[in-house]
Amino acid sequence: MNRSLLERFNHAVSGIIIAFRTERNFKIHYTIAILVILLSLFFDFSRIEFLLLLFSISLVIVSEMINTAIERTIDLITQDYHPLARLVKDVSAGAVLISAMNSIIVGYLLFFDRLSSFGELLLFKIRRSSIHLTFIALFIVILLTIALKAKFYRGRGTHFQGGFVSGHCAIAFCIATIISFLAENILISTFALGLALLVAESRIEARIHSLLEVVLGALLGIIIGILVFQGLG
């Protein structure tokens, strides 16, 4: 991968993690986002409905991050009260409020009727949707990896490379677990596990992660894969 592109990814992930570590509202929105995505597993959403749900969640998180960046920039420029600075902060906070209200409306429209007849949900349809479950499992792994990196950041390495848990291993072993459930073939499962182990070995060989961090990443990926496919599959 181009070095400059990798650095851009690293800076972007660092921004998410810093916001998660320092901003209480961002932590709340991030946690709610994970819970809503988990809840969506139990509902027979169409692709358009699921896309609207993801867009609403992303809009709230992006708005919160932009609001944080604006507030920090103003604080950097001046520590004294100024009506224009107050106006800018209020406007950026208003943008977050609008995006949050939009997400509430979307959530109400998507969930209310289904929640009111929860006992009649066709859970078996979701269970048979391997593509949907795969996407959800990987998305949860990525979200939890970022949260764990933010929570237990030790100041070593970068947020995109290194950290408390290996994101590459988490994704690789989650994919290997999913392949094992879908293929139901010992040979294919062995090949998938072998590829995941190669990913783990490469992270240790490159001295990006320690053995413990690689093991934690592998366990995270395996556990999420099992929970999603064994619990709902």
Q: Measuring CA to CA, which residue among 153, 139, 149 is closest to residue 58?
A: 139
Catalytic-labelled residue, pool 7, 64, 184, 201: 64
CA distances from 18 to 110, 123, 150, 174, 189 (A): 31, 37, 7, 26, 37
7 is in an annotated binding site: no
Task: Give the chain's end-to-end CA distance (angstroms, integer).
Answer: 35
CA 39 – CA 1 distance, rounded (Å): 36
Maximum separation of any 2 CA atoms in the chain, in Å: 68
64 is in an annotated binding site: yes
- Residue 151 sits at φ, ψ, to 5 deg, of -70, -40
Asked if 75 and 86 touch (Cβ cutoff 8 Å), the reply is no
CA distances from 1 to 7, 8, 16, 206 (A): 10, 11, 21, 15
Neighbouring residues of 158: CB distance < 8 A, sequence distance ≥ 6: 10, 14
For 156-181, b/e burial (b = at least 16 CB within 10 A) is: ebbbbbbbbbbbbbbbbbbbbbbbbb
120 is in an annotated binding site: no
> Is 64 noted as a catalytic residue in this protein?
yes
- Residues with catalytic roles: 64
Binding-site residues for a divalent metal cation: 23, 71
Binding-site residues for ATP: 23, 71, 89-90
Binding-site residues: 23, 64, 71, 89-90
